[in-house]
Structure 1
Amino acid sequence: MSPTHILTAAHCVAHMSSWDVSRLTVELGMHVLKPSSDAQVSKKVRRVTRHKGFDSRTLYNDIAILTMESPVFFTSTISPVCLPPEGSNDQYTNKDAAVIGWGALKEGGSQPTVLQQVTVQVITNDKCKSSYGSDAPGGIVDHMLCAAYPGKDSCSGDSGGPLLVQSSPGSPWIQAGIVSWGIGCAQAKYPGVYARVTSFMNWIGKNTV
């Protein structure tokens, strides 16, 4: 993906009007959210592309692309996250994965002021289906990815953020998922559910040219 595009969740932008999009910005190199942003670069968003198959009830196809008005130049505080290799069908099963965001630190908790990171582990979709049972609104489907770790999870406010993996220590970060949904936060029965990026590579390619 060129440095003018960012992946996010479709449900985060589902109700945006053209007026909302015209006021939307991407803040880069940011570490502190409140009381004042320390973003290094601010970019206006030129276009929001939401997957046409997005379903707000089941959260199927929960992916969107933010296209910024100009390219991003990388610095010591702003660096890229890579897409999975073209043609990859890596399931990332049992891989440690990092989630980064300003979401609540616990279910029902307050929002932090400093960017947080948590490490979870990718599990199989079969295990995820078994855990959720009939509680998943549309079931756990192939284009979803689940990750969990005792006492750790993404939470409210992390939606649309990245789930990142590395093939080996020191290698480039790859975006394996996009924070999508879950029941509660860090509940043993309910892993975090993410949009599986490898399932959308053709769609991403068609919408970032």
Structure 2
Amino acid sequence: MPHSTSKTLRRYGWERALAVPSLLLALFLPAAALPAPAAAGRHDLEVVGGDLARTGQFPWVVRVSGGCAGTLVAARVVLTAAHCAAGLPVDGIAVTADTVDLDDRRAREARVVRAVMAPGYKQVTEGDDWALLQLDRKLSLPTIAVNDAPALDTGTFTVIGWGATGEDRVQERKLRYVEVPLVADHTCVGAYRPAGYTYRPDEMLCAGYVDDGRRDACYGDSGGPLVRRDSYGAWLQIGVVSWGIGCARPGLPGVYTQLSTHARDLREALARLR
């Protein structure tokens, strides 16, 4: 991220611009921030306007150290955002699982031993924002299926994470979730163009409340899941929390990695890491 004083752009979870108060900057800014348009200020996301998750409600959601979330897609593989792991030493990443409360001493811990990034990943706003993390051991927990059918990328979704509940707040200790509707691609193209960002309909999804904001992901939700029920009632992961401007701002819905467009690469990477 550039050293801008603008307070508009967020990147869910890892990066913070220098406009953010020093305490938050110390918590979330990595050693090497990613480039962005000159008008950018901050680039992050948490669940705004959401509800507290119940124990066991989303057993496949995990916390990724450094301020991100992820999902268990195999017994020892976590799906998260590429920007949550890019440029970091693999042995410096840890995962907390089997809890909705990050202070829970009974939570399970695992270390990351290998990371596979999306082949085309460069920076968060250019797309390809997904990564698979191989853990040092298997976790005997439920896993979630990743969607490979674009026809299911519609309707109302649920986004889950430990992110902040507002732009002026820190990340949460307890897991939250919120429902957000799909936003048409052309609406997101028009929303982000004035800020100098290119929304890519071929590999991104937009979800949120265009008219009045209200509910959204926020700082610390990066890498977390955008999910819906399939035709059998099982949870299916549709997207990954990726980027956006502010938190729950009117006219600026959140942007998510559209997993169905990356299905082939994800299957191949997952097969190597199971």
Shorter-chain TM-score category? 0.7 to 0.9
Contact 2:189 2:198 in 1 (8 A): no
Cα deviation 1:16-41 (Å, max 9, x = unaligned): 02xxx2132221112112xx344532
Contact 2:125 2:243 in 1 (8 A): no
How far apart are the structure 2 equivalents of 1:116 and 1:155? Answer: 11
Contact 1:30 1:38 in 2 (8 A): no
How far apart are the structure 2 equivalents of 1:167 and 1:136? Answer: 36
How far apart are the structure 2 equivalents of 1:137 and 1:205? Answer: 29
1:81 aligns with 2:149: no
Q: Which residue of 1 aligns with 2:117?
A: 50
The amino acid across from 1:50 in the alignment is: M
1:7 aligns with 2:79: yes
Contact 2:188 2:199 in 1 (8 A): no
Cα deviation 1:82-102 (Å, max 9, x = unaligned): 111x4x122522x12111111
Q: Secondary structure at the match of 1:49?
A: strand
Single out whichever of 182-191 and 140-149 deviates more from structure 2: 140-149
Q: Judging changes above 3 Å, is the alpha-carbon distance between structure 1 residues 126 and 13 closer, same or farther for their aligned structure 2 residues?
A: same
251, 257, 273: which is aligned to 1:189? 251
Q: Judging changes above 3 Å, is the alpha-carbon distance between structure 1 residues 161 and 38 closer, same or farther for their aligned structure 2 residues?
A: farther
Q: Which residue of 1 aligns with 2:263?
A: 201
Cα deviation 1:152-181 (Å, max 9, x = unaligned): 00001101111111135x711111000000
Give the structure-1-normalised TM-score: 0.85
Q: Which residue of 1 aligns with 2:201?
A: 141
9, 23, 26: which is aligned to 2:92? 23
Larger relative contact order (CA 8 Å, sep ≥ 6): 2
Single out whichever of 154-163 and 118-127 deviates more from structure 2: 118-127
Matches within 5 A, 1:122-137: 122-137=182-197
Contact 1:121 1:148 in 2 (8 A): yes
Gaps of 5+ in 1: none
Q: Secondary structure at the match of 1:199?
A: helix
- The sequence identity of aligned pairs, in percent, is 32
How far apart are the structure 1 equivalents of 2:121 and 2:161? Answer: 23
Q: Secondary structure at the match of 1:90?
A: helix
Which structure 1 residue ranges, 4+ long, deviate > 6 Å from structure 2? Answer: none
Q: Secondary structure at the match of 1:62?
A: coil
Gaps of 5+ in 2: 1-72
